[in-house]
Structure formats: C-alpha cells, structure tokens
A and B are shown apart, each in its own frame.
Chain A
Amino acid sequence: MKTCPKCNVKILDDTDRCPLCRHALSGPDGGLRSYPDAVGSIRRARLFENMVLFLSVIAGIVALYLNYKLSHTNWWSLIVVLSLFYVNVVIRYAILGRSGYQSKVYGLLVIALLVLEGIDYLTGFEGWALTYVYPSGIMALDLAILILMITNRRNWQSYMLPQLVLVVLSLFSGVFWLAGWNRSPLLAQISVGVALFTFLGTLILGDRRARNEMNRRFHV
C-alpha cells in the first residue's frame, strides 16, 4: 500500500500520486481499481451530442446566409433552422435522453406541433397548423394512448389522466376557432369527440378500477 508523505494518509487506489495533494507516493506498487471508468463513457456520449449540435449550427448559418443572398422575401431558411432544432431535440431528448417513453411520446408530439405552427407562420400563416395539425395531433395522441393501454394492459388505468388532459387540450380548438385562427371547425369537433368518448369509454367500461384511479389522481 502506498503512502503520501505530505498528507500522511494511505492511498488504496492504483496510482502513483496523491489524490489530495498530487505529491508522488512512496511504497510498493499495486492498488485497487474498485470503480469503473465512467469518465470515458460519459464523454463519448457528450461528444456525439455536441457534434450534432455543431453540424446543425453550421447548416443553419449556411442556410440563413444563402437565403439572405438569394432572396429577401421568402425566409425558407427559418424552416431549415426549425427542422434542425427538431432533429436536435429528437437526438438529445428521445434518443439519448433518459426520460420515460410516455414523456418522450408526448414531448416530441408537442414540440412537433409547435415547430409546424412556426412553419405555418413562416409560410404566410394560412392557419393549416391549427386547423389540421393541432386536432390531428390530439387524435394521434389519443390513438397513441389507446395503443399504450393495450400494450400495458396491467396498468391501463394509469393512462386516464393523460386522456383527460387531451379532452382539455382538444377544447382549445374551439378557442382557436373563436379567435379566428382555425379556418374550419370540423376536424376540431371530431378531435373533441374522439378525446371525450375515449375518456368516457375508459371511465364507464373500466368501472370501479377506473373510478379508483380517478380518486387517487384527484386526492387532495
């Protein structure tokens, strides 16, 4: 076992310098390696993330520069920037991120909706994002939840609160229509119906287990 003559402590690690004062150690060779090399793995993951970010920043700046040089009326480069932003979100949040699959599904869909809304705004704000994409997104989430309920039958009741949240979110379509941002209420009405009926179906067919889930979720 090695000793640090300056600190007057024994060093159990397989090293030749003191971790406290960096002084050379005295004593026979041989020590422990009782922890894995975690530094290497974390630095490799971070390098990949940073490489993607770096390439995205370059691509975004090049697109903005070309757009500026070629046209001052049509800002197509901002769509490229938004798309690159989404690619980075997917890599950092969905692929490398450690959050759960539910959070990833919902998170990615919400961010996708926001990105598409941004693209709608950049392309003349014709309202297609709120008219078609938003209610379609609500229905896609409803479908995703139904699939998750079937896949995870053991805990089907745990998806009831997300269903209820979708009912509330679908009602926002009506707000958008009243505000004049939504060009046609049909798809919005369908999305409200789908969200409401799937929730009510789960509540009624789920019987006591569904009601108990609601009791738990709403305990004050």
Chain B
Amino acid sequence: MKRNKDTKDHIGSTHRYIRWQKLDNTALLFPAIAGESMTNVYRISVTLKEPVQPKLLQKALDMVLPKIDGFNVRLRAGVFWYYFEENGKKAPKVTEESLFPCRYIHANRNHSYLFRVTYYQCRINLEVFHVLADGMGGVNFLRELTYQYLRLAHQELGKQCEDRLSDETSLSVEDSFLKNYKAAKPSGFEKKKAYIIREEKLPTGEFALMHGYMKVSELKEVAHRYGVSLNEYLVAAFVYSVYTEHMLRSANPHPIRVAVPVNLRPYFDSDTTRNFFIVVSAEFVASQDNMTFEDVLEAVRDSLREQIQKDHMEDLFSYSVSNQKNKFLRAFPLPLKKPAIRIVYSKSALANTSTITNIGNVVLDQRYADYIEKFTACIAMSKGQSLKGTICSYNGNLCFTFSSVFRETIVQKSFFRKLAEDGIDVSIETNRVYY
C-alpha cells in the first residue's frame, strides 16, 4: 500500500495516514460487473464442534481485522479506476445468518468493508467480495478469525497461544499479476459460446446450496482407478451429468465448458493474499450420441492438462495485464470503462457452461483442529451460469457444494448418483430451499 505523506490534518479531528492501493488485474473487473444479480461474493464457512458465541466472535473480529491489511480496506471510485483505501472504521457487525448466502456486498454499507461475518449455530461464515481476495486470502482471514475466536472462547488455548497472527499466515498484498507479467500476449481466453444449462429458476433472490460430503481417501481411490486426479474426476462427473441430463446423451455442437480457476501462487512463487488466479477451461464436445463417462473424462483430463502449464497461464494473465497497462485504455474515464468492461465480460461469460473452483485443503494448527468439525465453501452465480460447484477439503473429508438458482436438482442428482455408483459414500445437506 502507498503511504501518504500528510502527517497533520487541517480539517477534521483525526490525524492519520490514509494508505491506498490499486486493484489487482482480476479485481478491476469485479466492481464494474457486480450487482444484486451477479454478486461476485464467495463464502467460506467453518463449523465448530460447539455453538458460536456471537460476542466473542465480534471481539475476535475486532482484534484480527486491524492486523490484516488486505481486508481492512474500502473500495473507492476514482475518475479513471477503482482503488482501495485504508478503511479504519470499526469492524463490521457480526450478525446471525438469516438470509441467503453470497448476497451482494454494497461498498458503502457494512462500515464500508467488503466482507461480512455471520454465524449460525456452530458455523462461522465469511463472505468476501471477490475484489478483495481469492479463496486463499479468504481462507487465511477465516483461519485467523477462528483461531482468535477459539483463544477467547477457551482459556486453555489462550494460555497456550499468543494473540497474534499465526506463522503460516501471509500478509502480502503484492499485485502478483503485475510482478509476473511478461510482454503482451494474444488473448488465449475461449470466446466461443458454450452450452448453457436452462431450467426453471427459483424466485428472484433465492439461492440454493447443496453440500455433498465424502472421504478424500475414497475419492482418491476412484480417481486413481480412472487414472486421473481428484479434481479432474469431479469436474468430469459434473460434465457427464450435464451431458446425460440436459443433452440427453445426444451430439451437440456447443461444448460443455467448465471454468476451473487455478491458484497461480505455486507456479510463480507468490504468497499474496490478493487475487492471483487464472481461469482455464475443461471442455467436452459431444461429437456423437451415447458417449461414455470415460470419453468425458478423457476430454476433461486432456483439456485441463494442456492448459495448466505455467507458460500458458502466464500468457493468459499477461494478455489481461497488457490491457490494463494500455495507455489509451487507461485514459478512459471510469463511467465509460464500466459499460465496456460489462460488454466484454458478458461475451466471455457465455463461453462457459459453469464454474468449478477448488479452495483446496485447509490445514490448521493441531492445537485448534480439535475444536473444528468441517470447512465448506460456495460461490455466487454469474451471467449464464446458474449452477456452480465449489470444492473444499479438511481433515480427510471433502465437501463438494453446488450453488444454484435452479428450482430442480437434475444435475446434482446425476452427479451424486455417479459418485455413489463408483463406490463413494456421499452424505447430502442442503439449505432447505428444495423442500
């Protein structure tokens, strides 16, 4: 963050620095396209083995937030770009969950913070506007919040551990896109229209969640049997479900294309807590009738492996950064940039049937792990994508969450039945929208 040089205010009662930072390359997109119907908010939840105490959770948030620069910001609109400014207000109020997940976060509400913390029974929910951070940044913040909460709720933990951030938590807010950007590359993003799932939708504002819990060991065994990774297997099962339930196992010229965000940190030696991911696509074209799961799996595996290469991913984000650095485009005022960004986004959004994102395996300090039951995550809907999947695992258990605004559960049924058929023990939990 840049630090202002003003040390004394001539108006106003406070004397403080106002730190600010530009948005990262991916984040530039979100404020321009986000709204009530496409919130770009994701949720990561931790379920404890005991009911949450709201006052202690609020206290924990009050203590942790000032230490994490990446979340202690508000979004401001400049004449040419949005940017982050140090927030410094009181932490947002922790409330009991009473509405649907992943609702829009207004930049001027919630004490101007771009995340919210809610609780329900034993669960703590962190909802984050994607402009702030990707899943890794969200997990970092939720982990620290949970640690602090547990230290407050359990004296024995408070004695064992100091009230400070844990060693594994990064505080870097580096723009890793800019740092790793190479010379401008042609666009590698897919633009051709994909197969779009069409079903009757839930009433406006309603949002359905369906968690499927399973053992990582069972999944690994099945994926190994098919000769693919766990991620490839789950994405293929999703694609196969769309193929069987919506395309009715018939040939179709539109590919089923699933956007798969890839965490770039391991490839570029980054530990930033801001966004640093790129989206690749798992693609399957139903070139003939009655294709098998193995055909789908092969197509998904090949397309993912072909794209998840450091050079290819570098080309993808370098193209985006080159647009951001283009002097001509930079000079356009924000009110003109916003509709242009929306148009470009709308075109590219229809290039994917759905999105399946993997938050990864959440690892906790063993001293805290005994108090924690599970982690789950979900993402909001976007244009043309009314059914999405989020994968999250913790302590040997994996949760595949479907978020959807469809009234029926056609794809979900086929997906979980396929997993069960392959010998995986699946338990389902919903947010009761389907009853």
A, B: real partners: yes
Question: Interface residues, chain A, CB within 8 Å of chain B?
Answer: 1, 7-13, 15, 17, 19-21, 32-39, 41-43, 46, 98-103, 153-154, 156-158, 161, 202, 205-210, 212-213, 216-220
A19 partner, pick from B79, B89, B206, B434, beta carbons under 8 A: B434
Bound complex: CA A157 to CA B98 (Å)? 36
Q: List 23 A-B contacts (CB under 8 A).
A: A7-B420, A8-B421, A10-B427, A12-B213, A12-B427, A13-B435, A15-B432, A20-B428, A21-B413, A34-B121, A36-B96, A37-B432, A39-B206, A42-B206, A46-B205, A98-B104, A102-B108, A153-B11, A153-B12, A161-B77, A161-B79, A209-B4, A212-B6
Nearest opposing residue in chain B for A207, CB measure: B10
Question: Interface residues, chain B, CB within 8 Å of chain A?
Answer: 4-6, 9-14, 16, 18, 20, 22, 36, 76-81, 83, 85, 88-89, 96-100, 104, 106-109, 120-121, 123, 203-206, 209-210, 212-213, 330-331, 409, 412-413, 416-417, 420-421, 425-435
Given the complex, which residues of A lie within 8 Å of B417, measured CB to CB?
A: 7-9, 20
Given the complex, which residues of B lie within 8 Å of A212, measured CB to CB?
A: 4-6, 18
Given the complex, which residues of A lie within 8 Å of B79, measured CB to CB?
A: 161, 217-218
Bound complex: CA A33 to CA B120 (Å)? 10
Name the distance in Å between B373's Cβ and chain A's nearest Cβ.
Answer: 11
Question: A35-B209, A103-B108, A218-B78 are contacts. A154–B12 as well, Cβ < 8 Å?
Answer: yes
Name the distance in Å between A137's Cβ and chain B's nearest Cβ.
Answer: 20
Is chain B's binding surface mostly helix, strand, loop or mixed?
Answer: loop
Given the complex, which residues of B lie within 8 Å of A39, measured CB to CB?
A: 206, 432-433
State whether B108 touches A15 (Cβ < 8 A).
no
B431 partner, pick from A21, A35, A206, beta carbons under 8 A: A35
Question: A9-B428, A20-B413 are contacts. A209–B78 as well, Cβ < 8 Å?
Answer: no
State whether A35 touches B81 (Cβ < 8 A).
no
Given the complex, which residues of A lie within 8 Å of B9, measured CB to CB?
A: 206-207, 209
Given the complex, which residues of B lie within 8 Å of A20, measured CB to CB?
A: 409, 412-413, 416-417, 428
A36 partner, pick from B120, B331, B409, beta carbons under 8 A: B120
Bound complex: CA A194 to CA B96 (Å)? 46
State whether B108 touches A42 (Cβ < 8 A).
no
Question: A8-B421, A19-B434, A102-B108 are contacts. A216–B99 as well, Cβ < 8 Å?
Answer: no
Name the distance in Å between B64's Cβ and chain A's nearest Cβ.
Answer: 21
Name the distance in Å between A28's Cβ and chain B's nearest Cβ.
Answer: 15
State whether B6 touches A216 (Cβ < 8 A).
no
Nearest opposing residue in chain B for A102, CB measure: B108
Bound complex: CA A220 to CA B16 (Å)? 25
Bound complex: CA A10 to CA B433 (Å)? 18
Bound complex: CA A71 to CA B279 (Å)? 63
Question: A9-B426, A209-B6, A218-B79 are contacts. A41–B98 as well, Cβ < 8 Å?
Answer: yes
Bound complex: CA A42 to CA B206 (Å)? 8
Bound complex: CA A220 to CA B329 (Å)? 10
State whether B98 touches A19 (Cβ < 8 A).
no
State whether B108 touches A10 (Cβ < 8 A).
no
State whether B120 touches A12 (Cβ < 8 A).
no
Beyond the given A220-B80, A220-B330, please list 15 additional residue pairs across the A-B interface where CB-CB is below 8 A: A9-B416, A10-B428, A13-B432, A32-B429, A36-B98, A36-B99, A100-B108, A102-B108, A153-B14, A158-B85, A212-B18, A213-B18, A217-B76, A218-B80, A219-B78
The 4 closest A-B pairs by CB, nearest first: A100-B108, A35-B431, A20-B413, A208-B6
Given the complex, which residues of B lie within 8 Å of A34, measured CB to CB?
A: 120-121, 123, 429
State whether A219 touches B81 (Cβ < 8 A).
yes
Bound complex: CA A220 to CA B12 (Å)? 28
Nearest opposing residue in chain B for A12, CB measure: B429
Nearest opposing residue in chain B for A98, CB measure: B106
State whether B430 touches A100 (Cβ < 8 A).
no
Nearest opposing residue in chain A for B4, CB measure: A212
Given the complex, which residues of A lie within 8 Å of B205, measured CB to CB?
A: 42, 46
Given the complex, which residues of B lie within 8 Å of A101, measured CB to CB?
A: 108
Question: A154-B88, A206-B11 are contacts. A220–B430 as well, Cβ < 8 Å?
Answer: no
State whether A219 touches B80 (Cβ < 8 A).
yes
Nearest opposing residue in chain A for B109, CB measure: A100
Given the complex, which residues of A lie within 8 Å of B76, measured CB to CB?
A: 158, 216-217
State whether B431 touches A10 (Cβ < 8 A).
no
State whether B13 touches A153 (Cβ < 8 A).
yes
Given the complex, which residues of A lie within 8 Å of B98, measured CB to CB?
A: 36, 38, 41
A9 partner, pick from B22, B89, B330, B427, beta carbons under 8 A: B427
Name the distance in Å between A162's Cβ and chain B's nearest Cβ.
Answer: 10
Question: A208-B6, A212-B6, A219-B83 are contacts. A10–B435 as well, Cβ < 8 Å?
Answer: no
State whether B12 touches A216 (Cβ < 8 A).
no
A156 partner, pick from B11, B206, B420, beta carbons under 8 A: B11
Given the complex, which residues of B lie within 8 Å of A154, measured CB to CB?
A: 12-14, 16, 88-89
Name the distance in Å between A111's Cβ and chain B's nearest Cβ.
Answer: 18
Question: A41-B99, A99-B106 are contacts. A216–B10 as well, Cβ < 8 Å?
Answer: no
Bound complex: CA A106 to CA B203 (Å)? 30
Given the complex, which residues of A lie within 8 Å of B11, measured CB to CB?
A: 153, 156, 202, 205-206, 209-210
State whether A208 touches B5 (Cβ < 8 A).
yes
Bound complex: CA A33 to CA B430 (Å)? 9
State whether B10 touches A209 (Cβ < 8 A).
yes
Given the complex, which residues of B lie within 8 Å of A11, measured CB to CB?
A: 427-428
Name the distance in Å between B159's Cβ and chain A's nearest Cβ.
Answer: 32
Bound complex: CA A1 to CA B80 (Å)? 56
Nearest opposing residue in chain A for B85, CB measure: A216
Bound complex: CA A212 to CA B5 (Å)? 9
Given the complex, which residues of A lie within 8 Å of B18, measured CB to CB?
A: 157, 209, 212-213
